[in-house]
Structure 1
Amino acid sequence: MVVTKNASCGCCGAWVERMRANGFRVEVHDVDNLDLIKTRLGIPAGKGSCHTAEIGGYFVEGHVPAADIKRLLAERPAAKGLVLPGMPLGSPGMEVPDGSAQPYTVELIGQQGEATTFAQH
């Protein structure tokens, strides 16, 4: 997995550590402008987050749980990747000490940029 993020983002580092703890080998690249990579990969407007990963020919945008990424790689749908817009409280890398969490939906982005529900947490 290759992750591109801003150097100063702490939650991105926490997400990377969650991915490593789940068995992913992660290479990290810090950049000043994430828009270039998001455009290259075809991440739809409004679906962005604070870091972008590439794995197995897919993109993974934001704080997507490792189990969802593993499912994506096992099922290999005809799609561009997964997105979790924003930074939902309780998602991987966005945990808080009291265990609070917001419900969130991971979306699958199809070849034409259409979004469908992939997983709900």
Structure 2
Amino acid sequence: MIRHLVSRIATAGALIIPLLAHAAAPTIEVFKSASCGCCAKWVKHLEANGFSVKTQDVANPADYRQKAGIPDSLGSCHTALVRGYAIEGHVPAADIKRLLAETPRAKGLAVPGMPLGSPGMEGPRKDPYEVLLVQADGRTTVYKRYN
């Protein structure tokens, strides 16, 4: 009897927990060029890591970077918005999750350029790169280093 009850509770939990996790997944809105393949790969990286993603193909993704207050010197090929933060370039999903958990006073995160080995830019080699936290005043600090 107890085993049967425990089995039913475990089965219900196994069904409900993934639904709750999916419902709580933040939606990231990505502004990208229609022809950019690496942006599509980055979107798949986000989805594989539990994010819900809404993409918008736009004529000039840099317009969205500017609207979000991210300096052009930190530019990449796409800009995303999530819970009031801007995400510029190929930022790993783990760093976005950390940002959303810590909720610092900042504009968002940026990976300037398109470093090989970053999510969406996988290939035969991995170059070192930094994820930068963009402060409210536009200054940056290193949020995470990848070697």
Q: Secondary structure, in 3 states, of the residue corresponding to 2:65?
A: helix
Match of 2:49 among 16, 22, 40: 22
Match of 2:83 among 40, 56, 70: 56
For the residues of structure 2 that align with 1:113 and 1:87, how far apart are their CA atoms?
20
Task: Report the equivalent of 1:11.
Answer: 38
Post-superposition CA distance 1:76-119 (Å, at most 9, x none)? 000000000011010000001x4x20000000000110111000
Q: Secondary structure, in 3 states, of the residue corresponding to 1:7?
A: coil
Match of 1:41 among 68, 89, 92: 68
Letter in 2 for 1:101: K
Runs of at least 4 residues off by over 3 Å? none
RMSD over equivalenced CA pairs, Å: 0.7
Task: Report the equivalent of 1:78.
Answer: 105
Structure whose residues are more often helix by fraction:
2
**Normalising to structure 1: TM-score of the pair?**
0.96
Task: Report the equivalent of 2:127.
Answer: 102
Kept after mapping to 1: 8 A contact 2:31/2:78:
yes
Unpaired runs of at least 5, structure 1 = none
For the residues of structure 2 that align with 1:68 and 1:5, how far apart are their CA atoms?
20
Match of 1:87 among 111, 114, 131: 114
Unpaired runs of at least 5, structure 2 = 1-27
**Normalising to structure 2: TM-score of the pair?**
0.79
Q: Secondary structure, in 3 states, of the residue corresponding to 1:26?
A: strand
How many residue pairs were aligned? 119
Give the deviation of 1:35 after TM superposition: 2.4
Bigger relative contact order, structure 1 or 2 (CA pairs below 8 A, ≥6 apart): 1
Give the deviation of 1:36 after TM superposition: 1.6
Task: Report the equivalent of 1:115.
Answer: 140
Structure number with greater Rg is 2
